[in-house]
Amino acid sequence: MLIPLITSSAMAQSWLQGADMITARTDFSTSNIGDDIYVIGGFDLSGNTLDVVEVYNVKNNSWKSVAPLPQGLNHAAAASYDGKIYVVGGSISSEWIPTNYLFIYDPIKNQWTEGNPMPTPRGALNALFVNGTLYAIGGLDNAKSSNINEAYDPLTNKWISKPSMPTGRHHAASATVDNKIYITGGRAGSYALTNVNANEMYDTETEKWTAVEPMPSKRSGIAAAAINNSFFVFGGEDTIKTYSNNEEYDTQDDKWISQEPMPSSRHGLAAVSVDDRIFVIGGGPRPGLSVSQVNEIYTKKPWGLAQSQEINLIDNKHTWKPFVDATVSQNQSNLHMVVVTAHNDTMYNRAFLPVQINSTMNKSLILNLDYASQSARGNATFMAEIRDNSSEVTDNSSNKILWYNRLNNTNGQLSNETHTIPSNIVNRPVELRLYAITNGTGEHILAVKKASIMIH
């Protein structure tokens, strides 16, 4: 049976817990045939490249093993067509040597065959079927971001070139809606975590690319799946943390909507939609090589306006105050904290807001933060925290903390984050804190464009 996820935030059961995957892994490929989701290859915790293939049946909530890949692959891409799974590209080891393999799995025979190799070897690419054609787009090509778009016809077993993607990248997410391909996020450059938020649409009928509304957050190692006219982008990583973001792109209105975050943050994960549910499987809970067996199932809840409430924390009703070496300026839509330190002690510089949020709708709470941070001189650790307001303003101890999260140093670029926060912060005095924790001289800035709590 599927189990509702019970968390400190008392989620409104947008997320359910499915049976764990048999083999913990990351950077694998997935696709489904009907009610069966195939999880293929990837890395284990030791960095070994796997040939293991496991199948999850969404109706029975159960896993089984099937015939392994002919060759272990990590960072391959997979798509299904006409009752078969097509696996393309990837790497055969942790040395990032890309391949051009095309393996085809027949579930009736439980057998793999090899198709005509892809013209350009690539890993960390995207592969999607539209109208019987397999499109292999982007990826990592010998330590370079690729914008290559190559198409394979299963009937002729031949590849042809298609118009290149405008933004070369790898570790991106992809989805198809209405015969159009969307490539979102990912990394530009080589192996470095230079995340982008580009969102580009390829019309397979006109063979033209169009830049559409960028993703609110810059993430890579992400996964996406489509339901109706929207697709949802899950997880990701940067150099210091993994993400739990769940952002929906409405292809008809060309807009993004923050949805209920994943219960567990991960990168190198997979997302597969079956009917009206999205199965978000595996991946690493920490940046770099880490693995999991997690199987979390998302169903979008049709919240109406009367069923949700958004509290804006930056307006004329809420006054943020400075502490230690911080100075704070605030207007109707922005909050700026500037910290200038001239000593070598560890200092918990912050802007803080004493507040009480009263609501009878406390099923699920989501904190939305749009911010940019930068250290002009020296180093700082940026943090967001909610704590019991019974503590003194000078108190930095951990026993009063109700929730906290480390923020990125974005080098002045705007970043968007959504976090599920505990429901016990409602109907009680609490204190919100935004930190720049310093140890030495320096100058640091945290600019917040949006800070709000959504209550469902």
pLDDT value for 345: 84
**pTM of the model as a whole:** 0.72
pLDDT above 70 for 134: yes
pLDDT above 60 (res 455): yes
As a whole number of angstroms, the longest Cα–Cα distance in the chain is 73
Return the pLDDT at 423: 81
At residue 58, the pLDDT reads 94
> Given its phi and psi angles, is residue 239 left (phi above 0), alpha (psi -120 to 50 degrees) or beta?
alpha
With left for phi above 0 and alpha for psi between -120 and 50, is residue 435 left, alpha or beta?
A: beta
CATH class of residue range 309-455: mainly beta
Per residue in 44-76, pLDDT (tens digit) is 999 999 999 999 999 999 999 999 999 999 999
pLDDT, residue 410, reads 86
Mean pLDDT of the chain: 90
Q: Given this model, what pLDDT does residue 4 score?
A: 45
Residues of the chain with CATH 2.60.120.260: 309-455
CA distance 285 to 163: 36
Cα angle vertex 396, ends 417, 389, to 5°? 75
Is it the case that residue 6 has pLDDT exceeding 50? no
**pLDDT for the residue 8:** 31
- Which pLDDT belongs to residue 5? 42
Q: How many CB atoms lie within 10 A of CB 380?
A: 25
Query: Taking 50 as the threshold, does the pLDDT of residue 203 lie above it?
Result: yes
Closest by CA to 27, choosing from 123, 102, 164, is: 123
pLDDT > 90: percent of the chain? 63
Report the CATH number of the 3-302 domain. 2.120.10.80
Q: Does residue 363 register a pLDDT over 70?
A: no
